[in-house]
Amino acid sequence: MGIPTRPWRHRRARDTRHFLSPAVRRLAGELGVDATGLLGRGNEGRVTKDDVVAAGGTRTQPLTPARDEVVPFDNVRKRTAAGLLASKRTAAHASAVTIADYRAIDEARRGAHLTALPFVARAVIDALREYPELNGTLDADDALTLHRDVHLGIAVDLDFKGLVVPVVHDANGLRLRALAEAIRDVARRARDRKLTPDDLAGGTFTITNPGASGTWVSLPIINRPQVAILATDGVSKHVVADDRGHMRIAPMGHLCMSFDHRAVDGAYVGDFLARVKEIVETRDWSTEL
């Protein structure tokens, strides 16, 4: 289940100039620099490491400890580790990857102040209606329960201290903006340590978003007893060719899925990913806004 994530800015919709990557945030802390007030020179005005270094001068402390240090796992890390290890020991992990063109999403979200995550989540939810075996949970007796509603788990990184997966219940009943707000809400409460037990229960499918940190391809660990998890990786510009061989530049991003091979097979997952890709690329997203 996971790579610790910050779902496609699923912490909050924000001006990209104020977004700080984990590496930049860490460096700013080391140098004692308030990076949120800097004028970034990176892509779309984002603050870069060079901006932080220029503002902070020379490092006042080393990047690594001066001596070896033993860091015991706290309770959050212990629970994260136990859950991930149990999943790897139990589920028959297999993976599939596709790449999608994000032009339609980028055009729609540009004026809507939304990240790409809720668009992909909406595409996943709609595709699960056609592929219900991926919206299932597998019990100890190898019986697959197919769930009528999609209770969408969103993997949230807790400042590199562990991982939790709060659930947006009945996500299939939410339109795009409501879904985006629900994702922001559970992510915010997760980082503020304000989740209730009900917020963590009942998930049927999980999305994790390592792409917020710039990853290229990720193979997440299944959030057991669910049978599948989707990772949304970073979107970047690529030169692609259309059916007629005409070249163009498009924002492309990988959609990477891990699944429990005990419950479903690769062909089924491949068709599901193809359907998600089709929705991402061809839906008129303006109708959702």
Residues acting as catalytic residues: 261, 265
Q: Within 10 Å of residue 27's Cβ, how many Cβ atoms? A: 21
Place of tokens 């308030």: 34
Tokens of 208: 């994790």
State the DSSP string of 195-223: --GGGGS---EEEE-GGGGT-S---PPP-
45: left (phi over 0), alpha (psi -120 to 50) or beta: left
Tokens of 173: 């009943």
Q: Between vectors from CA 118 to CA 6 and to CA 124, what angle results, nearest 5°?
A: 105
In the chain, what is the greatest distance between 2 CA atoms, to the nearest angstrom?
A: 60
Helix (H, G, I), strand (E, B) or coil at 117: helix
Place of tokens 């490092």: 59
Tokens of 217: 């391809």
Helix (H, G, I), strand (E, B) or coil at 135: coil
Identify residue 240 by its one-letter amino acid code: V
For residue 26, give every residue at least 6 positions away whose Cβ sits within 8 Å of its Cβ, in sequence order, or none.
none
Measured between its terminal Cα atoms, the distance across the chain in Å is 31
